[in-house]
Chain A
């Protein structure tokens, strides 16, 4: 256990020291999300609020979108980081050297994901927290919920990121899969539109995304409308999703290493 924590810590520190493409990170994880956030906010402008699902005015909407965007950006940063790191580490030949060590592959994987999260998402996180304070969603009374909310978000994103890292170890060309996968997540996971208003078929699809449960729980904790009315089903859903993802990650990593030991592909780029 001590060794595993040591490996994770080393990965987090390395991530911070390496500071993968600072411009790239600034643009892709601060400026683009902020512009995208504004675009969605304005997309709602042509409509008259009816109070449906508890969203009465633009303040309610901002709080809803703020949480949605923050959680989505955490998940999205995992996609982007898995992609750029796998490329960079292959090119530098460091990926193979890390596989030359006996370090726990799962720990390396999760360390990478957590390191990237801490390093990359804080800027946009601050923006979203500002939105939440501005709309009085977060006040002094419910400030206790903030650490809970952040831990939940970090933990879920880390498990998600670990799975993506494993996928990108397997293939250098996984970017297209991500493209196709990313769009449904935006739509169905409730980042921009409350899942509760969806027709049944769309609700069923939304159950496939861990982000859906994560967002519902976050919104429940913060008392934001447009989320679910009960927390237990979502909590159960999230636990199952995270469990499945961790299982898939473990299986993938074992397979990837076996595959790479047969083909020697880790050294290619």
Chain B
């Protein structure tokens, strides 16, 4: 299975819009190629690549998205008011969900993306991020609860 499409999906889980997500994906590929000697045979390539992406996001994209959130409150207000039942088109819903996820605190957003979108287990995420499993679990509870409140399922 090719890893690139999955990394792109993860980038969308972290980023505020598709353009930022593809920039992040490209930066991740470049970083991974430059540091490929550091990857250890026998360890999972996907976890290693996801970790590179997450660290890059922390370094750069995260501060950009913070700025973007402050600069674009109106657009978000519009998205929140729409009825999710009208959102038959996945692309429309994707934008709404990305917007909601971008308002989660970063440490919750990355865990929601890794577990609920990418399908990793708690233990895998705990190892990937170097966090105690209890921390992963509690951030996931807060993140998904806030997300549900924002995208409002009836």
Tell whether A and B belong to one assembly.
no
